[in-house]
Amino acid sequence: MSDPEPQPESGQNDSLDDHPFKALGLKHKVVRAVVKSGYQEPTHIQAQAIPIVLEGRDVIGSSQTGTGKTAAFALPVISNLNNHGKFRCLVLEPTRELADQVTNAFRTYSKYTNLRTALIQGGVGYGRQKELLAKGVDVVVATPGRLLDHHQQRTINFKDIEVVVLDEVDRMLDMGFLPDVKRIVKLTPKKRQTLFFSATIPSEIEYLAKWSLTNPFSVDVGQRRSPAEMVNHCLYPVAREQKMELLVRLLNDLDYQSVLIFTERKLDAEVVARKLERNNHIAHTLHSDRSQRERKLALEGFKNGDFEILIATDVAGRGLDISGITHVVNYDVPRNAENYVHRIGRTGRANTEGDALTLFSADEGDQVRAIEAYIDKPLERVTLENFEYAFTTLLQKQEVVRPVRRGRNRGYIPANTMPINMNRRRR
Protein backbone atom coordinates (compact mmCIF):
# COMPACT_ATOMS: atom_id res chain seq x y z
CA MET A 1 0.00 0.00 0.00
CA SER A 2 2.85 2.34 0.74
CA ASP A 3 4.67 2.08 -2.62
CA PRO A 4 5.75 5.52 -3.74
CA GLU A 5 3.63 6.71 -6.62
CA PRO A 6 5.56 7.21 -9.86
CA GLN A 7 5.50 10.89 -10.65
CA PRO A 8 4.03 11.94 -13.97
CA GLU A 9 6.45 13.06 -16.60
CA SER A 10 6.81 16.80 -16.69
CA GLY A 11 3.63 18.44 -17.85
CA GLN A 12 1.82 15.17 -18.50
CA ASN A 13 -0.70 15.34 -15.68
CA ASP A 14 -0.25 18.88 -14.46
CA SER A 15 -3.86 19.78 -15.00
CA LEU A 16 -4.88 16.97 -12.65
CA ASP A 17 -3.04 18.61 -9.75
CA ASP A 18 -5.85 21.13 -9.42
CA HIS A 19 -8.56 18.57 -9.85
CA PRO A 20 -10.92 18.39 -6.83
CA PHE A 21 -10.46 14.61 -6.65
CA LYS A 22 -6.68 15.02 -6.46
CA ALA A 23 -7.18 17.36 -3.53
CA LEU A 24 -8.92 14.51 -1.68
CA GLY A 25 -5.61 12.63 -1.70
CA LEU A 26 -6.18 10.13 -4.52
CA LYS A 27 -3.28 8.98 -6.66
CA HIS A 28 -2.82 10.46 -10.12
CA LYS A 29 -3.75 7.29 -11.95
CA VAL A 30 -7.05 7.13 -10.10
CA VAL A 31 -7.79 10.79 -10.76
CA ARG A 32 -7.14 10.17 -14.45
CA ALA A 33 -9.86 7.54 -14.45
CA VAL A 34 -12.20 9.93 -12.63
CA VAL A 35 -11.56 12.56 -15.28
CA LYS A 36 -12.18 9.97 -17.99
CA SER A 37 -15.52 9.18 -16.32
CA GLY A 38 -16.41 12.85 -16.65
CA TYR A 39 -16.76 13.58 -12.92
CA GLN A 40 -15.89 17.16 -12.14
CA GLU A 41 -16.75 17.50 -8.47
CA PRO A 42 -16.95 14.90 -5.74
CA THR A 43 -20.43 14.24 -4.41
CA HIS A 44 -21.03 14.81 -0.68
CA ILE A 45 -20.41 11.23 0.29
CA GLN A 46 -17.24 11.14 -1.80
CA ALA A 47 -15.88 14.35 -0.29
CA GLN A 48 -16.50 12.96 3.18
CA ALA A 49 -15.52 9.34 2.76
CA ILE A 50 -12.53 9.36 0.38
CA PRO A 51 -9.97 11.01 2.71
CA ILE A 52 -11.07 8.80 5.61
CA VAL A 53 -10.89 5.57 3.60
CA LEU A 54 -7.46 6.62 2.31
CA GLU A 55 -6.30 6.88 5.92
CA GLY A 56 -7.29 3.25 6.42
CA ARG A 57 -10.09 3.94 8.88
CA ASP A 58 -13.33 2.01 9.13
CA VAL A 59 -16.35 3.82 7.76
CA ILE A 60 -20.06 3.44 8.26
CA GLY A 61 -21.91 5.24 5.49
CA SER A 62 -25.59 5.90 5.44
CA SER A 63 -26.29 7.41 2.07
CA GLN A 64 -29.22 7.82 -0.21
CA THR A 65 -29.29 5.85 -3.41
CA GLY A 66 -27.58 7.37 -6.42
CA THR A 67 -25.24 9.56 -4.41
CA GLY A 68 -21.99 8.25 -5.86
CA LYS A 69 -21.41 5.80 -3.04
CA THR A 70 -19.60 3.23 -5.21
CA ALA A 71 -16.87 5.68 -6.16
CA ALA A 72 -16.73 6.85 -2.53
CA PHE A 73 -15.30 3.47 -1.55
CA ALA A 74 -13.83 2.18 -4.83
CA LEU A 75 -11.60 5.18 -5.59
CA PRO A 76 -9.70 5.28 -2.27
CA VAL A 77 -9.45 1.47 -2.13
CA ILE A 78 -7.89 1.41 -5.61
CA SER A 79 -5.61 4.27 -4.69
CA ASN A 80 -4.40 2.39 -1.59
CA LEU A 81 -3.99 -0.96 -3.34
CA ASN A 82 -1.96 0.82 -6.00
CA ASN A 83 -0.31 -2.14 -7.79
CA HIS A 84 -1.23 -5.70 -8.66
CA GLY A 85 -0.42 -8.12 -5.87
CA LYS A 86 -2.60 -10.44 -3.81
CA PHE A 87 -6.33 -10.69 -3.22
CA ARG A 88 -6.66 -7.79 -0.76
CA CYS A 89 -10.12 -6.28 -1.15
CA LEU A 90 -13.44 -8.09 -0.84
CA VAL A 91 -16.71 -6.35 -1.73
CA LEU A 92 -19.98 -8.07 -0.82
CA GLU A 93 -23.13 -7.20 -2.75
CA PRO A 94 -26.69 -8.47 -2.26
CA THR A 95 -27.63 -9.06 -5.91
CA ARG A 96 -25.93 -10.25 -9.05
CA GLU A 97 -26.83 -7.07 -10.89
CA LEU A 98 -25.23 -4.93 -8.23
CA ALA A 99 -22.15 -7.14 -8.10
CA ASP A 100 -21.84 -6.78 -11.87
CA GLN A 101 -22.25 -3.04 -11.67
CA VAL A 102 -19.71 -2.56 -8.89
CA THR A 103 -17.22 -4.81 -10.70
CA ASN A 104 -17.53 -2.57 -13.73
CA ALA A 105 -17.01 0.49 -11.54
CA PHE A 106 -13.81 -1.02 -10.07
CA ARG A 107 -12.56 -1.88 -13.55
CA THR A 108 -13.34 1.60 -14.85
CA TYR A 109 -11.71 3.39 -11.93
CA SER A 110 -8.62 1.15 -12.01
CA LYS A 111 -8.12 1.28 -15.77
CA TYR A 112 -4.80 3.14 -15.43
CA THR A 113 -3.47 0.66 -12.86
CA ASN A 114 -2.59 -3.03 -13.28
CA LEU A 115 -5.10 -4.08 -10.59
CA ARG A 116 -7.45 -6.94 -11.41
CA THR A 117 -11.05 -7.27 -10.30
CA ALA A 118 -13.02 -10.53 -10.39
CA LEU A 119 -16.79 -10.88 -10.29
CA ILE A 120 -17.96 -13.88 -8.28
CA GLN A 121 -21.72 -14.30 -8.49
CA GLY A 122 -24.22 -17.13 -8.60
CA GLY A 123 -26.29 -18.19 -11.59
CA VAL A 124 -23.31 -18.78 -13.89
CA GLY A 125 -20.73 -21.56 -14.18
CA TYR A 126 -17.73 -21.98 -11.87
CA GLY A 127 -15.09 -22.57 -14.55
CA ARG A 128 -14.28 -19.03 -15.58
CA GLN A 129 -14.45 -17.76 -12.00
CA LYS A 130 -11.95 -20.42 -10.89
CA GLU A 131 -9.65 -19.50 -13.77
CA LEU A 132 -9.76 -15.82 -12.85
CA LEU A 133 -9.07 -16.54 -9.18
CA ALA A 134 -6.20 -18.90 -10.03
CA LYS A 135 -4.59 -16.23 -12.23
CA GLY A 136 -4.53 -13.83 -9.30
CA VAL A 137 -6.79 -10.89 -8.52
CA ASP A 138 -6.63 -7.88 -6.23
CA VAL A 139 -10.32 -7.16 -5.76
CA VAL A 140 -13.21 -9.61 -5.60
CA VAL A 141 -16.78 -8.37 -5.88
CA ALA A 142 -19.10 -11.15 -4.82
CA THR A 143 -22.55 -12.23 -3.78
CA PRO A 144 -22.36 -14.12 -0.46
CA GLY A 145 -23.57 -17.63 -1.46
CA ARG A 146 -21.23 -18.17 -4.37
CA LEU A 147 -18.29 -16.73 -2.47
CA LEU A 148 -18.82 -19.24 0.33
CA ASP A 149 -19.01 -22.06 -2.25
CA HIS A 150 -15.59 -21.04 -3.58
CA HIS A 151 -14.23 -20.83 -0.07
CA GLN A 152 -15.48 -24.34 0.70
CA GLN A 153 -13.92 -25.62 -2.51
CA ARG A 154 -10.69 -23.84 -1.54
CA THR A 155 -10.60 -21.95 -4.80
CA ILE A 156 -10.32 -18.71 -2.86
CA ASN A 157 -8.29 -17.77 0.16
CA PHE A 158 -9.15 -14.87 2.45
CA LYS A 159 -5.88 -14.66 4.37
CA ASP A 160 -4.45 -11.59 2.59
CA ILE A 161 -7.63 -9.52 2.70
CA GLU A 162 -6.98 -6.01 3.96
CA VAL A 163 -10.29 -4.31 3.13
CA VAL A 164 -13.83 -5.63 3.37
CA VAL A 165 -16.66 -3.60 1.87
CA LEU A 166 -20.18 -4.52 2.98
CA ASP A 167 -22.45 -2.75 0.55
CA GLU A 168 -26.24 -2.32 0.71
CA VAL A 169 -26.32 -4.12 4.02
CA ASP A 170 -30.01 -3.46 4.59
CA ARG A 171 -30.74 -5.27 1.35
CA MET A 172 -28.61 -8.18 2.54
CA LEU A 173 -30.84 -8.26 5.59
CA ASP A 174 -34.01 -8.21 3.47
CA MET A 175 -32.73 -11.10 1.40
CA GLY A 176 -31.75 -13.21 4.38
CA PHE A 177 -28.01 -12.98 3.72
CA LEU A 178 -26.87 -11.63 7.07
CA PRO A 179 -25.82 -15.05 8.48
CA ASP A 180 -23.68 -15.65 5.36
CA VAL A 181 -22.23 -12.15 5.58
CA LYS A 182 -21.30 -12.76 9.19
CA ARG A 183 -19.66 -16.09 8.34
CA ILE A 184 -17.63 -14.46 5.59
CA VAL A 185 -16.48 -11.56 7.76
CA LYS A 186 -15.42 -14.07 10.45
CA LEU A 187 -13.23 -15.83 7.88
CA THR A 188 -11.33 -12.64 7.01
CA PRO A 189 -8.30 -11.41 9.02
CA LYS A 190 -9.15 -9.56 12.24
CA LYS A 191 -6.80 -6.79 11.30
CA ARG A 192 -8.60 -5.28 8.34
CA GLN A 193 -10.34 -2.12 7.20
CA THR A 194 -14.13 -2.47 7.02
CA LEU A 195 -16.39 -0.18 5.03
CA PHE A 196 -20.06 -0.56 5.75
CA PHE A 197 -22.71 1.04 3.52
CA SER A 198 -26.44 1.00 3.71
CA ALA A 199 -29.11 3.39 2.46
CA THR A 200 -30.95 2.80 5.70
CA ILE A 201 -29.64 1.44 8.98
CA PRO A 202 -32.46 -0.32 10.80
CA SER A 203 -31.79 -1.46 14.33
CA GLU A 204 -31.46 -5.12 13.24
CA ILE A 205 -28.22 -4.39 11.44
CA GLU A 206 -26.78 -1.98 13.93
CA TYR A 207 -25.44 -4.99 15.83
CA LEU A 208 -23.62 -6.20 12.72
CA ALA A 209 -22.03 -2.78 12.33
CA LYS A 210 -20.91 -2.75 15.96
CA TRP A 211 -19.55 -6.26 15.64
CA SER A 212 -17.69 -5.78 12.37
CA LEU A 213 -16.37 -2.21 12.65
CA THR A 214 -13.64 -0.71 14.79
CA ASN A 215 -14.00 2.90 15.80
CA PRO A 216 -15.78 3.75 12.55
CA PHE A 217 -16.04 7.19 11.07
CA SER A 218 -19.67 7.89 10.32
CA VAL A 219 -20.57 9.37 6.95
CA ASP A 220 -24.18 10.37 6.87
CA VAL A 221 -25.34 12.13 3.75
CA GLY A 222 -28.77 13.67 3.82
CA GLN A 223 -31.68 12.31 5.75
CA ARG A 224 -31.46 8.59 6.07
CA ARG A 225 -34.99 7.88 5.09
CA SER A 226 -35.86 10.60 2.65
CA PRO A 227 -36.19 9.63 -1.03
CA ALA A 228 -33.58 10.74 -3.54
CA GLU A 229 -33.76 14.49 -3.43
CA MET A 230 -34.17 15.27 -7.08
CA VAL A 231 -37.14 13.01 -7.79
CA ASN A 232 -40.62 14.44 -8.34
CA HIS A 233 -43.01 11.82 -7.12
CA CYS A 234 -46.76 11.59 -6.97
CA LEU A 235 -49.70 9.22 -6.83
CA TYR A 236 -52.23 8.51 -9.54
CA PRO A 237 -55.40 7.28 -7.83
CA VAL A 238 -57.28 4.90 -10.10
CA ALA A 239 -59.70 1.96 -9.86
CA ARG A 240 -57.68 -1.27 -9.86
CA GLU A 241 -59.28 -2.56 -13.04
CA GLN A 242 -58.17 0.59 -14.86
CA LYS A 243 -54.51 0.48 -13.89
CA MET A 244 -53.40 -1.03 -17.17
CA GLU A 245 -55.46 1.44 -19.18
CA LEU A 246 -54.04 4.35 -17.21
CA LEU A 247 -50.51 3.04 -17.61
CA VAL A 248 -50.91 2.86 -21.37
CA ARG A 249 -52.32 6.39 -21.44
CA LEU A 250 -49.48 7.69 -19.31
CA LEU A 251 -46.90 6.04 -21.54
CA ASN A 252 -48.60 7.42 -24.63
CA ASP A 253 -48.53 10.92 -23.16
CA LEU A 254 -45.10 10.90 -21.56
CA ASP A 255 -42.26 11.82 -23.84
CA TYR A 256 -40.11 9.27 -22.09
CA GLN A 257 -36.76 7.93 -23.09
CA SER A 258 -36.43 5.22 -20.49
CA VAL A 259 -39.04 3.96 -18.07
CA LEU A 260 -38.53 1.48 -15.28
CA ILE A 261 -41.86 -0.03 -14.21
CA PHE A 262 -42.10 -1.93 -10.94
CA THR A 263 -44.60 -4.63 -10.13
CA GLU A 264 -44.87 -6.45 -6.81
CA ARG A 265 -45.15 -9.88 -8.44
CA LYS A 266 -43.11 -11.57 -11.16
CA LEU A 267 -46.25 -12.75 -12.87
CA ASP A 268 -47.59 -9.21 -13.07
CA ALA A 269 -44.32 -8.06 -14.65
CA GLU A 270 -44.93 -10.55 -17.48
CA VAL A 271 -48.63 -9.68 -17.80
CA VAL A 272 -47.93 -5.95 -17.97
CA ALA A 273 -45.14 -6.52 -20.54
CA ARG A 274 -47.45 -8.51 -22.83
CA LYS A 275 -50.23 -5.93 -22.55
CA LEU A 276 -47.88 -3.07 -23.27
CA GLU A 277 -46.61 -4.89 -26.32
CA ARG A 278 -50.16 -5.15 -27.59
CA ASN A 279 -50.26 -1.36 -27.24
CA ASN A 280 -47.06 -0.86 -29.24
CA HIS A 281 -44.71 -0.32 -26.30
CA ILE A 282 -41.77 -2.72 -26.35
CA ALA A 283 -40.99 -3.84 -22.82
CA HIS A 284 -38.65 -6.43 -21.33
CA THR A 285 -38.79 -7.96 -17.86
CA LEU A 286 -36.24 -8.40 -15.09
CA HIS A 287 -37.06 -10.70 -12.17
CA SER A 288 -35.71 -13.74 -10.40
CA ASP A 289 -37.55 -16.31 -12.53
CA ARG A 290 -35.52 -15.23 -15.51
CA SER A 291 -32.15 -16.85 -16.11
CA GLN A 292 -28.99 -14.92 -15.36
CA ARG A 293 -28.38 -14.62 -19.10
CA GLU A 294 -31.87 -13.26 -19.72
CA ARG A 295 -31.48 -10.75 -16.89
CA LYS A 296 -28.15 -9.60 -18.23
CA LEU A 297 -29.51 -9.23 -21.77
CA ALA A 298 -32.56 -7.32 -20.54
CA LEU A 299 -30.41 -4.98 -18.49
CA GLU A 300 -27.90 -4.40 -21.24
CA GLY A 301 -30.58 -3.79 -23.85
CA PHE A 302 -32.22 -1.25 -21.57
CA LYS A 303 -28.94 0.45 -20.73
CA ASN A 304 -27.97 0.64 -24.40
CA GLY A 305 -31.33 2.12 -25.30
CA ASP A 306 -32.31 -0.88 -27.51
CA PHE A 307 -35.72 -0.69 -25.87
CA GLU A 308 -37.16 1.90 -23.56
CA ILE A 309 -39.25 0.08 -21.01
CA LEU A 310 -38.02 -2.36 -18.41
CA ILE A 311 -40.44 -4.03 -16.02
CA ALA A 312 -38.88 -5.24 -12.81
CA THR A 313 -39.65 -6.61 -9.38
CA ASP A 314 -37.92 -5.26 -6.28
CA VAL A 315 -35.01 -7.68 -6.50
CA ALA A 316 -33.88 -5.70 -9.50
CA GLY A 317 -34.90 -2.36 -8.09
CA ARG A 318 -32.22 -1.98 -5.54
CA GLY A 319 -29.05 -0.32 -6.63
CA LEU A 320 -29.40 -0.69 -10.37
CA ASP A 321 -27.27 1.98 -11.89
CA ILE A 322 -28.69 2.88 -15.22
CA SER A 323 -28.00 6.43 -16.12
CA GLY A 324 -30.75 8.56 -17.52
CA ILE A 325 -33.86 6.72 -16.38
CA THR A 326 -36.40 9.42 -17.01
CA HIS A 327 -39.38 7.84 -15.29
CA VAL A 328 -40.04 5.25 -12.65
CA VAL A 329 -43.59 3.92 -12.57
CA ASN A 330 -44.89 1.86 -9.67
CA TYR A 331 -47.63 -0.28 -11.12
CA ASP A 332 -48.39 -1.31 -7.55
CA VAL A 333 -47.80 0.65 -4.40
CA PRO A 334 -44.84 -1.13 -2.77
CA ARG A 335 -45.80 -3.15 0.32
CA ASN A 336 -42.66 -2.05 2.03
CA ALA A 337 -42.13 1.69 2.50
CA GLU A 338 -38.35 1.32 2.20
CA ASN A 339 -38.77 -0.31 -1.18
CA TYR A 340 -40.64 2.77 -2.32
CA VAL A 341 -37.58 4.88 -1.57
CA HIS A 342 -35.30 2.43 -3.33
CA ARG A 343 -37.56 2.18 -6.35
CA ILE A 344 -37.90 5.89 -6.93
CA GLY A 345 -34.18 6.24 -6.33
CA ARG A 346 -33.61 4.55 -9.69
CA THR A 347 -34.36 7.86 -11.33
CA GLY A 348 -32.83 11.13 -10.25
CA ARG A 349 -29.41 9.56 -9.81
CA ALA A 350 -26.25 11.62 -9.37
CA ASN A 351 -28.07 14.88 -8.99
CA THR A 352 -30.20 14.74 -12.10
CA GLU A 353 -33.94 15.11 -12.09
CA GLY A 354 -36.40 12.28 -12.47
CA ASP A 355 -40.08 11.53 -12.13
CA ALA A 356 -41.70 8.74 -10.17
CA LEU A 357 -45.36 7.91 -10.73
CA THR A 358 -47.28 5.49 -8.53
CA LEU A 359 -50.60 4.00 -9.59
CA PHE A 360 -52.71 3.73 -6.49
CA SER A 361 -55.96 1.85 -6.05
CA ALA A 362 -58.32 1.87 -3.05
CA ASP A 363 -57.04 -1.44 -1.65
CA GLU A 364 -53.55 0.06 -1.33
CA GLY A 365 -54.43 2.82 1.13
CA ASP A 366 -52.50 1.26 4.03
CA GLN A 367 -49.32 1.05 1.96
CA VAL A 368 -49.65 4.69 0.91
CA ARG A 369 -50.12 5.78 4.51
CA ALA A 370 -47.07 3.76 5.53
CA ILE A 371 -44.96 5.40 2.81
CA GLU A 372 -46.16 8.88 3.73
CA ALA A 373 -45.31 8.19 7.37
CA TYR A 374 -41.92 6.81 6.39
CA ILE A 375 -40.90 9.74 4.20
CA ASP A 376 -42.66 12.08 6.57
CA LYS A 377 -44.68 13.97 4.00
CA PRO A 378 -47.90 13.51 2.05
CA LEU A 379 -47.62 12.40 -1.55
CA GLU A 380 -49.34 14.55 -4.08
CA ARG A 381 -52.43 13.02 -5.76
CA VAL A 382 -52.66 13.66 -9.47
CA THR A 383 -55.24 12.86 -12.12
CA LEU A 384 -54.70 12.71 -15.82
CA GLU A 385 -56.62 15.08 -17.98
CA ASN A 386 -59.08 13.55 -20.45
CA PHE A 387 -58.81 10.09 -18.98
CA GLU A 388 -62.16 8.44 -18.47
CA TYR A 389 -61.94 7.48 -14.85
CA ALA A 390 -64.16 4.72 -13.54
CA PHE A 391 -65.56 5.48 -10.12
CA THR A 392 -63.27 4.94 -7.16
CA THR A 393 -63.65 6.32 -3.66
CA LEU A 394 -60.11 7.62 -3.94
CA LEU A 395 -61.17 10.28 -6.40
CA GLN A 396 -63.82 11.50 -3.99
CA LYS A 397 -61.35 11.89 -1.16
CA GLN A 398 -59.42 14.62 -2.92
CA GLU A 399 -60.01 18.24 -2.29
CA VAL A 400 -62.56 18.90 -5.01
CA VAL A 401 -61.92 22.11 -6.81
CA ARG A 402 -63.27 21.59 -10.24
CA PRO A 403 -66.16 19.21 -10.92
CA VAL A 404 -65.76 17.35 -14.18
CA ARG A 405 -68.35 14.96 -15.52
CA ARG A 406 -67.36 12.66 -18.26
CA GLY A 407 -68.42 9.41 -19.82
CA ARG A 408 -68.18 6.50 -17.46
CA ASN A 409 -66.88 8.67 -14.71
CA ARG A 410 -69.61 9.72 -12.36
CA GLY A 411 -67.24 11.12 -9.79
CA TYR A 412 -65.30 14.31 -9.53
CA ILE A 413 -61.79 14.86 -10.70
CA PRO A 414 -59.55 17.06 -8.60
CA ALA A 415 -58.15 20.09 -10.31
CA ASN A 416 -54.56 19.08 -9.87
CA THR A 417 -53.65 17.56 -13.22
CA MET A 418 -50.34 16.47 -14.62
CA PRO A 419 -47.60 18.40 -12.86
CA ILE A 420 -45.24 15.70 -14.00
CA ASN A 421 -42.87 16.65 -16.76
CA MET A 422 -44.24 15.04 -19.90
CA ASN A 423 -41.23 16.01 -21.99
CA ARG A 424 -38.34 14.43 -20.27
CA ARG A 425 -35.49 13.31 -22.46
CA ARG A 426 -32.89 10.71 -21.57
CA ARG A 427 -30.00 12.47 -19.96
Binding region for ligand AMP (CB under 6 A): 39, 41-43, 46, 66-71, 321, 323, 349-350
E runs forming strands in 103-199:
117-120, 139-142, 163-166, 193-198
Nearest distance in Å: CB 66, ligand AMP: 5
Given the complex with ligand AMP, which of 21 and 177 has the nearer CB atom? 21
Distance CA 218, CA 45 (A): 11
E runs forming strands in 276-330:
283-286, 309-312, 327-330
Rg (CA), the chain: 23
Distance CA 270, CA 174 (A): 24
Given the complex with ligand AMP, which of 250 and 312 has the nearer CB atom? 312
Distance CA 73, CA 216 (A): 14
Given the complex with ligand AMP, which of 66 and 354 has the nearer CB atom? 66
Task: Work out whether strand 117-120 and strand 327-330 pair parallel, antiparallel, or are unpaired.
Answer: unpaired
Nearest distance in Å: CB 74, ligand AMP: 8
Nearest distance in Å: CB 198, ligand AMP: 13
Given the complex with ligand AMP, which of 275 and 303 has the nearer CB atom? 303
Nearest distance in Å: CB 94, ligand AMP: 14
Given the complex with ligand AMP, which of 323 and 396 has the nearer CB atom? 323
Given the complex with ligand AMP, which of 242 and 326 has the nearer CB atom? 326
Given the complex with ligand AMP, which of 97 and 308 has the nearer CB atom? 97
Nearest distance in Å: CB 105, ligand AMP: 7
Distance CA 211, CA 60 (A): 12
* Eight-class DSSP state of 71: H
Sequential DSSP letters for 174-222: HTT-HHHHHHHHHHS-SS-EEEEEES---HHHHHHHHHH-SSPEEEEES
With vertex at residue 68, the alpha carbon angle to CA 63 and CA 72, rounded to the nearest 5 degrees, is: 85
Task: Work out whether strand 193-198 and strand 117-120 pair parallel, antiparallel, or are unpaired.
Answer: unpaired
Nearest distance in Å: CB 364, ligand AMP: 29
